[in-house]
Amino acid sequence: MSRVAVVTGAARGIGAAVVRRLAADGWRVVAVDICADIPGTGYPLGTREQLRALAEEWPESVRDVVADVRDEAAVRRAVAVAEAEFGGLDAAVAAAAVMAGGRPLWETSNDEWDALFDVGVRGVANLARAAVPLLLQRPEPRSGRFVALASSAAHRGLYHLAGYNAAKHAVVGLIRGLATDLRGTGVTATAVSPGSTRTDMLTATAAYYDLADVEEFSRHQLVERLLEPDEVAAAVCWLCGEGASAVTGTVVHADGGFTA
């Protein structure tokens, strides 16, 4: 029987790469994205067309759902699609996040702070509250998985990105607490911390530093290149699998050596 996942932030970037990898591996996936811009970000977010194209790429395996992870009721409705369409849930991937910054913390606006925490932290918590009860409904021995996207910013301070640093540290703390709450259930909770990955979010970050080329970020990584979304997705999808049963309450650093 096919395993079933819900993935937020799925319209593009790492989230879309996770959906594609899972679908290629035979999973059924509910792909969720807000498909709209929000205050505080200053760059365009994923679109309805991008999310729809993902579902059209895998018409038998992927259901596209427009939902705002900041809205707990909307997230619950999106997760309910997994049960209604595919019969249950085996993994939830919280990939929705935004970037905001470019100034010292004391100059960070409320809109920027709210965007970082409401999407990147509250959104993760909303998905956990909606998804974990379904993960726990699977018969024993369970192999449910909850995976959140953190960041190398959860482990090192980054210039003029204190709010983003704080939000990603919060994600790691949330995962550690969730994993402890799930003790003995067979359901695990983990985080993946990417390094500089070739995404629209990285392009937005480059603008904060007045960089002419995102390739300049590659010098901070031991692999001496930017990561591709699919490389990070590979780590996420491994954690979603039954073979990752020994990994919980911790972070996988898919960062190209950024934090070495």
> Which amino acid, 253?
H
Question: Which residue's structure tokens are 């997994």?
Answer: 82
| CB atoms closer than 10 angstroms to residue 238 | 16
The distance of Cα 122 from the centroid of its chain, to the nearest Å, equals 12
Query: Which residues share a beta bridge with 94?
Result: 8, 148
Q: Where are the beta strands (DSSP E) in the chain?
A: 4-8, 28-33, 62-66, 91-94, 145-149, 188-192, 251-252
The conformation of residue 255, written as its DSSP 8-state character, comes to: S
Question: Which residue's structure tokens are 């953190």?
Answer: 150
Token couple for 111 = 């809109």
- Nearest alpha-carbon partner for 137 in 202, 71, 83, 184: 83
Burial of residue 90 (number of CB atoms within 10 Å: 0-12, 13-18, 19+): buried
Query: Which residues share a beta bridge with 59?
Result: none
Q: Cα separation of 16 and 55, whole Å?
A: 10
Tell me if residue 209 is catalytic. Answer: no
The conformation of residue 152, written as its DSSP 8-state character, comes to: G
Catalytic residue among 159, 164, 208, 209: 164
For residue 133, give Cα distances in angstroms to 108, 117, 128, 171: 36, 23, 8, 20
Catalytic residue ranges: 164
